[in-house]
Copies of this chain bind each other. A is one copy, B any other.
Amino acid sequence: MAAEPPRARARRRDPEAARTIRDVAARAGVSTATVSRVVNGNYPVAAGTRTAVERAMRELGYVANAHARALAGSTTRVVGIVVSEIVDPFFAYIARGVQSEALSSGRLCLVCSTQGGDSAELRFVDLLLEQRADAVILVGGAVEDQEYFATIGQRAEQLAKSGSSLVLCGRPGLKAGVPAYAVDYDNAGGAAAITDHLLSAGHTRILYLGGPTTLSTTTARVRGFRQAYAARRLEHDPALVRTGAFGRQWGHDQTLRALDDGLDFTAVFAANDIVAAGVYAALRERGLSIPGDISVVGYDDVPVAVELQPALTTVRVPLEELGRAAVRAGIAGQQPSADPFAHQQQATTLGTVVVVRDSVAPPRAR
């Protein structure tokens, strides 16, 4: 076969393939630059030309290629969020806030769920790094491990280099100087407040139940729990803190065990509402009434709190707002107007509030 000019390969494009900006330009009789201008609407184009281009796009069923755009321009219009479990309402609500705020800034949301896989988080961050996401949001308590912090810090640097930013949501920030934002809520404060609620009702032997022992969320909540005792100059029995995991099953089993161990307590502070659901189930099995025999409180205020009978007194966390704030923080760095020196670590902390329902009563006299 005769040698064809090199361009021949390109010319022989699959006629079925998606239309490109060049096809539109040809059909409308203008240049690709003009098509780009009408698509982006960020530059003056004569009305007639615009109409012609728009018609050509419609007739051809033209759809811009986001990758070409990301490559040529600079922003990807995508934010990434990494959670540990998308079906957990705690994360689902945050994800909802992220997705809606992303959408209102014209971005799509890449959601990654690690399903508890420890190292999966880092893998996802790398994947998101490849995607050049405008912002990468890491949600939920982190393992408090220095080495891990260092690795994440290093990723933050890389992210910053490629023009995007890392946002830590619902977990403590990194050390100063690392280009990461932190958007958190007052974990310890909420725990202290609800503990105080229990203390006010007369409980002093409160069992704190749940949360992976090494998780930052757990340590913060336990800290708040202790602070509430300290604030009233009350002693707290260390045997009454049992951490280990989240989850309904875990809450159920540990409650039974605490009862079997003959632990003396009149109330339980479940690490979150899901654990509280397990506590309810266990107490019910043992014929103990809530709050008659034992008072129970939770944390997060996810929907199950109102399905439980009696309705659960818990700490409301502004989950959606947390997600929104994370996106705002993450894309703020993208704004051309942003002060370059502002790209230091910044932190936002949202407040929490105790929602009083029906699961707390004064301890039974004995």
Residues of A in contact with B (beta carbons under 8 Å apart):
16-18, 61, 63-71, 76, 78, 85-87, 89, 92-93, 95-96, 99-100, 108-113, 115, 126-132, 154, 158, 161-163, 248, 277, 280, 303-304, 307-309
B residues less than 8 Å from A307 (CB atoms): 277, 280, 304, 307-308
A89 neighbours in B (Cβ, 8 Å): 87, 89
Given contacts A63-B126, A109-B112, A304-B304, 9 further A-B pairs with CB under 8 A are A17-B162, A63-B129, A66-B67, A67-B67, A67-B76, A68-B71, A99-B113, A108-B127, A307-B307
Given contacts A67-B132, A76-B67, contact A111 B96 (CB under 8 A): no
Q: In the assembly, what is the distance between CA of A277 and CA of B306, in Å?
A: 10
Contact B64 A67 (CB under 8 A): no
Counted per complex, copies of this chain come to 2
Q: Which of A16, A109, A113 has the most CB of B within 10 A?
A: A113
Complex CA gap A161/B16 in Å reads 6
A64 touches B130 (CB 8 A): yes
Complex CA distance for A153 and B280, rounded to whole angstroms: 49
- Give the CA-CA distance A128 to B108 in the complex, in Å: 9
Q: In the complex, which residues of chain B have a beta carbon less than 8 angstroms from the beta carbon of A78?
A: 110
In whole angstroms, how far apart are the Cα atoms of A280 and B304 in the complex?
A: 13
Of B99, B161, B280, which contacts A18 at CB under 8 A?
B161
Query: How far is B18's CA from A154's CA once the two chains are assembled, in angstroms?
Result: 13
- A158–B115 Cα distance when bound, in Å, is 34
Nearest residue (CB) in B for A106 is B127
Partner of A86 from B99, B127, B130, B154 at Cβ < 8 Å: B99
- With a cutoff of 8 Å between Cβ atoms, the chain B residues found around residue A100 in the complex are 113, 115
Among B109, B130, B280, point to the contact of A111 (Cβ < 8 A).
Answer: B109
Chain B residues near A277 (CB-CB < 8 A): 307
Of A99, A100, A131, most B-chain CB atoms within 10 Å: A131
A31 to B116, CA, bound (A): 40
Q: Which residue of B lies closest to A62 (CB)?
A: B158
Is B109 a contact of A110 with CB atoms below 8 Å?
yes
Q: Which of B65, B131, B309 makes the CB contact (< 8 A) with A130?
A: B65
- Would you give the shortest CB distance from A250 to chain B, in whole angstroms? 15
